[in-house]
Structure 1
Amino acid sequence: MHHAVQAAVARFPDRGHTIEELARTDESFLSLREDLAEAQAALARWERSDTPVMTARCAEYRELVRDLAAELDRHSQG
């Protein structure tokens, strides 16, 4: 399973089958799940950072992850 699909299924485990189906058939859903996976990875990198901007960047990426997850949620509901 592609890492972006895994990220989406991990976020919404009760919709695993729907997410996998959308990943195979819906181009916009593919883009959303890839964006979510990339944002989650970036957040994880910033959380390990010791730079002065770490707190601000973590807040930005948390918000982005939350927004992408909400959009993915709406998309996977139909």
Structure 2
Amino acid sequence: MDEDALAACCRFPTRAGAIVELSVRDEEFRDLCADFATAEAELHRWRGSNHVLRDQRVSEYAVLVEALAGEIVSMLENASVVPFPRR
């Protein structure tokens, strides 16, 4: 499994199968997972920092992580919709 997809799977363990499946076939979703993994790693890094900008960066990355997580859920939901043929 791709490390970037792993970050999304850890966030949404009940949807891990769908995350892996979609990441295999959708480059845009893979890129989204990569962005999510990077933002989450930076959030953890800043949380452990004693830099003067720590609180500001933690706040910014927390917002970014949540926004990306929402996009992941949205893409998963859209990918699971199967249109029926018209009669």
TM-score norm. by structure 2 comes to 0.86
Compare the two structures and name the one with the higher helix fraction.
Answer: 1
Quick one: distance in 2 between partners of 1:23 and 1:63?
Answer: 23
* Greater RCO, CA 8 A, separation 6+: 1
Quick one: distance in 2 between partners of 1:15 and 1:53?
Answer: 35
Query: Is 2:14 the counterpart of 1:8?
Result: no
Quick one: distance in 1 between partners of 2:18 and 2:65?
Answer: 20
Does the residue aligned with 2:52 lie in a helix, a strand or coil? coil
Query: By how many angstroms is 1:14 displaced?
Result: 1.3
**Alignment gaps of 5+ in structure 2:** 79-87
CA RMSD of aligned residues (A): 0.7
- Shifted more, 36-45 versus 9-18: the winner is 9-18
Query: By how many angstroms is 1:43 displaced?
Result: 0.5
Query: Is 2:77 the counterpart of 1:73?
Result: no
Say which one has the larger Rg.
2
> Which structure 2 residues correspond to residues 28-47 of structure 1 after superposition, within 5 A?
28-47=28-47
**Alignment gaps of 5+ in structure 1:** none
Quote the residue 1:22 is aligned against: 22
Runs (4 or more) in structure 1 with deviation over 3 Å come to none
Does the residue aligned with 1:72 lie in a helix, a strand or coil? helix
TM-score norm. by structure 1 comes to 0.96
